[in-house]
Structure 1
Amino acid sequence: MKNSMLRICLVFLCAFLISSSFFAEAKKTRLTDSPLYGVNTTSPEEFLGYPLGERLLRHDQINYYLKQIATQNPRVSLENTGQSHEARQQLTAVITSVNNQSKLDEILAQRQQVKYLGKQGGPLIIWLAYSIHGDEISGAHSALKLSHMLATSEDKWVKELLEQAVVLITPSQNPDGLDRFSTWATGYAGKVVVSDPNHKEHKQGWPTGRSNHYFADLNRDWLFLRHPESQGRVALFHRWQPHYVGDFHEMGHNFTYFFQPGVPERTHPLTPAGNQKLTAKLAAYHQAALDDNKQSYFSRQLFDDFFYGKGSTYPDINGAIGVLFEQASARGQQQDSVNGIVHLQEGIENQYATSISSLKGALALKSELEQYQAEFFKGKHQKAMKKKPRQAGLLLTTNKDPSRIRALTELLSQHKIEYYYLTNKLTQSGIDFGVDSSIFIPNKQAQSALLEAMFDDRSEFVDPTFYDISTWDLQHAFNLNLRRNVKLELSVLSQTPAEFVPPSWNKNAVALLIDWRDSQAALLLQQLLKQEIKVKFAAKPFSILSTNGEIDFAAGTLQVPLKQDNISASEIGQRVQQLAQQFKVNVIAANTSAASKGIDLGSPDFNLIKPIRPLIVSGKGTSVSEVGQLWYYLDNTLGVATTLVDSKDLTSITLADYSHVLLADGNYKTLSDRFARKLGQFTSEGGVVIAQKRALNWLSDSNLLKTDPRSERFYKQLFDADGLSFEQKSNFSAKQQIGGAIVELKLDTSHPISFGLNGDRLPVMKNKVLGFSQTTKAFSVAANYASEPLLSGYLAKEYQNSFSDSPAIIVESRNKGAIVALADNLLFRNIWLGSEKAYANALYFIPALH
């Protein structure tokens, strides 16, 4: 028995020694060969405490998870691209091999050589970005699953990928919208999952989680960069200069799955043919992945690659390959559709599958992606530019509005577009280009392709169908005087702007004058009104004599009298000087009230400006995006305390508490006759209504607007459908749409709505079929469409002929108040800086003149 026990003990001892030796050797090998040995990287399920997708993610959960795995796993680090409007942090996971992680600074330096030195080098850069529309949430979930897999997998292809590539993963590109949607859908989710599309879980309240804090569609802001989320994204793009960008979305629940290439004929002509070829090669990987999932899909239909302001298309004009993915949306946990029940979990799996196919496809096509990017920037880098002292380019000016040129240069800088300031005043074709309000942009530069796209003014197209707008020419958005292919010596240019000299004046000054044509003048005015300083505006032009000679002032010029109740002249001067320096607005002191020409400073044609308190009608029936644009302008641009009231609550509101009621585009079918009567009384007693687009139909039907608006029904009679086949129906329908074309208005420069707009012409974006009858009373018309209205983009000839010389902006008096009627949205996506002054005029000037 003892011998048997001894033998058993010896066997166990040997086994222990052998296993210890084996594990020691294994441990030694794993420590040497795998930096992940002993690393415990929390899975999404472990972090959440339930299966991924069982509940909708919040943005804070996404960020906490990324931060946790970044501290746990040496393959993962984080990029912070700033905060959203609601101060939510925007994080991107940077996942690559441990070796690459140790030299990210070197890799980033190499990436900067791509544009500026024409060199490729270092790893492939792949950026996968999800859920830019906050209610398209399957992408954000799949991003967490993908992040964990890439951080922990020892699969051969993953290790090869991470050695040869850096993968950027941005789970949530719209933090504020994602949380708005998640809160809504989770709040209406029961213990028993409901797939009925009528259930409130699937029927979001206004404004939905698609948009950001100011109700903007961030997937239309890649070019315009009006919002911090977009600014952070574009900064990340140019920091890493990716080769491939995957843009993951959701679409209507009755669809299946889409990936690009989209409609070939609707690709923007400036996109190289090689881009579409590579997109088609990558598509083969997505097909295989979805076929493995038994998921049906479509491509080359519905979606296009035209507007460069989208996440899948901005890369195409910046040397990368952008690919759009669209998953049928459950808008919650699950929803009935014509194809059966759409499950969030299936959506997560599909987005995960095409994320994997993106990685595998990009890795397999690495050399082709690198070659494509090298060819894209070939000959465009700075070294080639600087060999020639004389350059051809765009010479442009805002004429009397240096603030608008500063806004343009800020935008160009974010897109890495090079520009120069003038060192001396120039005159070209009768137009003066001043030092403080003009720039020169050379054609030949690293970002020449994007530059051409941003100032593209084409108006002829192969296919009249556009998923978004057909034009976005910044010349018209900023209302610039522009000359193309002007040749200038670099010696007359500077990379440094003219220094702003703060204004000063002596004790003899009786008033301070501010040029209303400066975009920042409205901000300065608003601050003065908040400080209860009296300000007047000139209803007519005038001139004054100064030590520098005679100075002309246009109608709209602001006057700050230095003699006011309860505040000394020195205190007024000090406050104006501080604000002028803050906003970089020039202020001129007048030493006498006597004008050398026109009205004197004490004239009754100088009108006192009253403080404003605007109300924006929001909620059901109103355009989410346009309400947001009005709010953004008032709150974010002007700094005005602005009240948003839901349309269903209007009858209980005392309108007399407000100075203005603003009506964005919308159907307004829910507004009652009772509110119409209240609004009529409001205007009669001195209130001002500012209404645009379809809101005018409701005003007309309620007998509040005398002018007859013409809507879609009227204009569609202009189109002849005789003899068209069924196959031609879609093209005919596209022809009848106004997706977004730039048209020209002719201004009545004597009308207060035109003050400060600087000239008799105004480019506006037209994206709605609406106009006015030609029989409008002439004195109420502030602007007409030009006789040949189309400036850029697609607009059917039938529309061009009908809009020609017809009213576009009307101001109707109502006893003490007025209605300002706009056929178009002059704030389009808050990038139309050239026309936003019309709203300031309606806010500050119209009340004083009615």
Structure 2
Amino acid sequence: MKNILLCLFLGIFHFSFAQNDYFLPAKKLNPAIPSPEQFLGYPIGSHHTRWDKIVEYMKELDRLSDRVTVQRIGETYEHREQIIVAFSNPKNITRLEEIRQNHLALTDPSKPMPDLSKTPLIVWLGYNVHGNEPSGGEASLLSAYYLTASEDPEALAWLNDAVILMEPVINPDGRDRHTHWANMHKGNPMVADPNDREHNEVFPGGRTNHYWFDLNRDWYLAVHVESRNRLAFYHQWLPNVVTDFHEMGTNATHFFEPTKENAENPLVPKYVYKTLNTSFAKHFEKAMNEIGSLYYTKESFDNLYPGYGSSYPDMQGGLGLLFEQASSRGHVQESQHGDLTFGFTIRNQFVNVLATIRASLAEKENLLKHQRNFYSETIAQGKNSLTKEYLIGDASDQSRNRAFWDMLLQHHIDFYHIQSDISENGQVFKKGKAIVIPTAQPQYLMIRSIFDRPTTFADSLFYDASAWNLALAYNLPHTELKREITKGDKITAKDLVLNPTLPTKSNYAYLIEWTDFYAPKALYQLLENQLIVKTAFKSFSIGGKTYSYGTLLIPVQKQAQDAEALYQTLIKISQNTGVIVESINTGFSTSGIDLGSNAFQTVKKPQAMILTGGGVVSSEVGEIWHLLDTKVGMPITKVEVYNFPRLNLNRYNTIVLAGGNYASLDKASVDKIKTWVANGGTLITQKTASEWAIKQGIVKEKLREIKQDTSRTKARINFEDIQNLEGAKQTGGAIFEAELDLSHPIGFGFTSKKMPIYRNNNTILERSIGAANSVLVYTANPRICGYVHPESLKRIANSSAINIAYEGNGRVVLFSDNPNFRGTWFGTNKLFLNALFFGTSISQNGAFAAEEE
């Protein structure tokens, strides 16, 4: 017995054990309900279970038991089903809709307080948001089995007093990517050596979704289909407790909340962290002590960012709970605590599932009261706020406005049209383009998050971003109102429907303003139709209207289509993109250039390639891929770094290097890039790729280096403080102000010189030696919000955010930052798209040739 306990403590799981003895010892279970092992044909922990088999098992439980019902909520990008499984007693299952409606009434202070003794608690079990953190997904199988088959009096009481909603795997696409990897490399006997291929996934790994995004950051941003499907269902229920099961490094143990001290969201009631978290932690402590597993709390992770699966519920009157389990990253792997098996990791997760349900029912009345009080207090906070409403909207870009509206609707935020134009704080907000968001509403905390600009923090180390102002991310003019204004109609999903004013037919030309976010999508469709499209490098006025830099000109003559076919094509493109196409019947301007000027340059269709694979930051590649797929409809060729030496570059006019380490590219590859650029290519680099290009001599730009203190007399510090002191110097994610050259092709489509940009790195570019080559420059006092170390802030001030370097007949566009961060920086996407579409038109001596005399 002593030896068995020792083996379990070390994590050495013998698969010959019956799974019920290991995971559910001494539990009375209904033999008519198949265990996961009986259904799958292998013990849990001995093999990674594919998502389709998890779905099949849940549906089999639904077929066999009146305690279970499965609901489809959507599908992923790769067409994997997204499901929610509900567990309760049979009576509750038959009246789920009634329970849901009554629970929503609890969250509405205008409705009578229900009898809490008769109100079921809503518990949401969420697993496996990171695909290669699979112990949670396997634990969902055991959780479902126990809730369906258990005859234990405690479990039956749970089912009487709660509805348990389970999302077995939050990221099915990523999970299956990792599942396939782990199973295809599993040895027999299994290999625990960390160097084995099983434990080292190839790029991009299974953590992320189809587009290589981290879905755990997407609850707040609501960019991806998986998140949107989940949020729609989530707001139908507003659960009281939500779990978020993760994995971490193999040499760790197990983490449960509370998280790091001084890392709590200041908007969330202290009751959540100080009372509920503390109470729940006692249950997790007891559960882990009983099985002899090591664990820790309070040292790491945070609840600052409102978009984690474990923090978003805190903003909705619930309790979000984070669990982090040391990962076997395969089936068994050596660790400092002994061999760590997959079965052991699953067991730790599963006992905390049961502990969560146990704690939730123990705290049922407090949880229900908290949710009721939360919404009463939140609405009151909004009413008492000095800011009564927010005005926001861009008069020149309705597509970006609609994208922002869409995001607000995902979070059930109420907002309204304005009834007339409003001038406020030096800005003009146009009717039909701007909206008003009142603060006195249930989603006041979300509204605060969207508009807040924090600059002071209790800590200087952040697990993730320290700023997440979405009004700035969308770069929409906005202001606070200290008064209420008369509002127009409430905005609904119907207001998102594209309904552009269609052009009349012209026999001369058409114009499309580049200010619209979806103008690049329209341009690519024009180029796909092999149409001649020109862009304006100077402003002009025609037909009583002024058009700015970047305006697209589509002449009727000399096109591959006749006038009627061209007209029909333009109507279709306008309907597809929402972009307004304007008919023009003369080429003579009242001011500025005429339509026949050489200041109109023909746009070349981008033939773009991006390097990917080992060393490259997969998320940055994914963000570019996602942007072009979903916002432009333009393909980009993804090439593995190891294939670059034998790649024919002649078919591409643009190469993109996302952030990463390109050390695997040898001198011959570097010379190959130099030659390609010199022959007229456009190279676009981001962050550390910009550093790499400078250090390899591809460009002659310079980095603003850190001045190292090498003195032997500097103040001593304690060893334990080194990590905090060095970590505080990292720019983990803050928002800064920069000034843009609106006349430069990279600045086309922007209407304000000052703009917010996101920075989460310490790549800092010196200003270019060319007077017009620093297109976007940080201001002298650039921080808008978020944490930045004072030394880093000094280095960032007056540095360049975008430099253009000319080499031979080509050019390199160097970004110090990532303009496509997490698919939500609509305000800076166009900087990247301008480099993509107009890069080949940029030359050192101006983009257009002088007329011959």
Q: TM-score, normalised by structure 1?
A: 0.92
| Higher mean C-alpha deviation, range 327-336 or range 301-310 | 301-310
Distance 2:125 2:500 in 1: 47
- Structure 1 equivalent of residue 144 of structure 2: 147
- Aligned residue number for residue 69 of structure 1: 61
* Matched letter for residue 163 of structure 2: V
Quote the residue 1:169 is aligned against. Answer: 166
Q: Look up the match of 2:269.
A: 272
Shift of 1:607: 0.7
Is residue 2:684 matched to residue 1:652? no
Note if 1:792 corresponds to 2:785.
yes
Q: Aligned in 2, Cα 1:82/1:500: closer, same or farther, shift over 3 Å?
A: closer
Deviation, 1:248, is 0.5
**Which of the numbers 42, 47, 52 marks the counterpart of 2:44?**
52
1:217 paired with 2:214, answer yes
Which residue identity is paired with 2:271? Answer: G
1:464-503 CA distance string (max 9 Å, x none):
1111000110121001111113534334454364997643
The correspondence of residues 693-842 of structure 1 with structure 2, limited to 5 A, is 693-710=687-704, 713-714=706-707, 722-774=715-767, 776-842=769-835
Report the structure number with the largest CA radius of gyration. 1
Aligned to 1:535: 533
Contact 1:542 1:598 in 2 (8 A): yes
1:574 counterpart = 2:568: yes
Counterpart in the other structure of 2:390: 394
Letter in 2 for 1:186: N
The correspondence for 1:100, drawn from 92, 106, 109, is 92
The Cα of 1:715 is off from its aligned counterpart by 7.5
1:484 maps onto 2:480 in alignment: yes
User: How far apart, CA to CA, are the structure 2 residues paired with 1:256 and 1:596?
Assistant: 72
Relative distance call for 1:695 and 1:720 in structure 2 (3 A) is farther
Q: Distance in 2 between matches of 1:451 and 1:677?
A: 51
C-alpha contact (below 8 Å) 1:392/1:443 kept by paired residues: yes
Alignment partner of 1:664 out of 651, 658, 664: 658
Aligned position for 2:5: none
Match of 1:308 among 299, 306, 309: 306
Change in Cα spacing, 1:591 to 1:774, as seen in structure 2 (3 Å) is closer
User: 2:284 aligned with 1:286, yes or no?
Assistant: yes
> Which one of 608, 628, 651 corresponds to residue 622 of structure 2?
628
Q: After superposition, what is the alpha-carbon deviation per residue over 1:745-766, rounded to whole angstroms, capped at 9, x for unaligned?
A: 1111221101112210121111
Whether the 8 Å CA contact 2:507–2:563 is kept in 1: the answer is no
Does the aligned pair in 2 maintain the 1:39–1:72 contact within 8 Å? no
Contact 1:391–1:490, Cα closer than 8 Å, also in 2: no
Instruction: Using the TM superposition, name which of 557-566 and 490-499 deviates more.
Output: 490-499
1:6 maps to none
Per-residue deviation, 1:849: 2.7
**Residue 519 of structure 2 corresponds to which residue in structure 1?**
521
Number of corresponding residues: 807
In structure 2, what is the Cα distance between the partners aligned to 1:566 and 1:135?
A: 50
Q: 2:32 aligns with which of 21, 40, 48?
A: 40
Displacement of 1:190 in angstroms is: 1.1
Between 420-429 and 252-261, report the one with greater CA deviation: 420-429
Q: 2:685 aligns with which of 680, 691, 713?
A: 691
1:616 paired with 2:614, answer no
Following the alignment from structure 1 to structure 2, what is the Cα–Cα distance between the partners of residues 228 and 417?
19
**SS of the residue aligned with 2:828?**
coil
Report the 3-state secondary structure (helix = DSSP H, G, I; strand = E; otherwise coil) of the residue aligned with 2:832.
helix
Cα pair 1:118 1:381 within 8 Å, conserved: no
Aligned to 2:441: 445
Amino acid at match of 1:108: R
TM superposition shift of 1:225: 1.3
The amino acid of 2:561's aligned partner reads: I
Is the contact between residue 111 and residue 239 of structure 1 (CA under 8 Å) also seen in structure 2? no
Distance 2:516 2:712 in 1: 43
Q: Deviations over 1:111-135 (max 9, x none)?
A: 3324444556531000111110001
Q: Is the 8 A contact 1:138 1:351 kept in 2?
A: yes
Correspondent of 2:466 among 454, 466, 470 = 470
* Aligned CA-pair RMSD: 2.3
Select the residue among 59, 71, 80 that pairs with 2:72.
80
State how far apart, in whole Å, the 1-side matches of 2:770 and 2:718 are.
Answer: 43
Q: Residues 114 and 405 of structure 1: is their aligned pair in 2 closer, same or farther, counting only changes over 3 Å? A: farther
Which whole-Å deviations, capped at 9, do the CAs of 1:761-798 have from their partners, x for residues lacking one? 12111111111124633221101111111011001121
TM-score by length of 2: 0.91
SS in 2 for 1:407: helix
Distance 1:508 1:837 in 2: 29
Q: Distance in 1 between matches of 2:299 and 2:557?
A: 68
- 1:322 aligns with one of 293, 304, 320: 320
Is the Cα–Cα contact under 8 Å of residues 435 and 498 in structure 1 kept in the other structure?
Answer: no
Please identify, of 252-261 and 700-709, the stretch whose mean Cα deviation from structure 2 is larger. 700-709
Measure, in 2, the Cα distance between the counterparts of 1:665 and 1:526. 25
Residue in structure 2 matching 1:132, options 99, 105, 129:
129
Conservation of the 8 A alpha-carbon contact between 2:416 and 2:487: no
How far apart, in 2, do the equivalents of 1:498 and 1:700 lie?
44
Q: Unaligned stretches of 5+ in structure 1?
A: 1-35
* 1: CA distance, partners of 2:373 / 2:776: 47
The Cα shift of 1:582 comes to 2.5
Q: Determine if contact 1:436/1:498 at 8 Å carries over to the other structure.
A: no
**What's the counterpart of residue 334 of structure 1?**
332
Identity of aligned residues (%): 34
Q: How much has 1:504 moved relative to structure 2?
A: 4.1
- Report the CA distance between 1:698 and its aligned residue: 1.8
- The residue that corresponds to 1:351 in the other structure is 349
Contact persistence 1:718–1:798 (CA under 8 A): no
Return closer, same or farther for 1:380/1:324 CA change in 2, 3 Å cut-off. Answer: closer
| Deviates further, 822-831 or 75-84 | 75-84
The residue number in structure 2 matching 1:158 is: 155
8 A contact 1:391–1:488 mirrored in 2:
no
Aligned mates of 2:455, 2:30 — CA distance in 1: 62
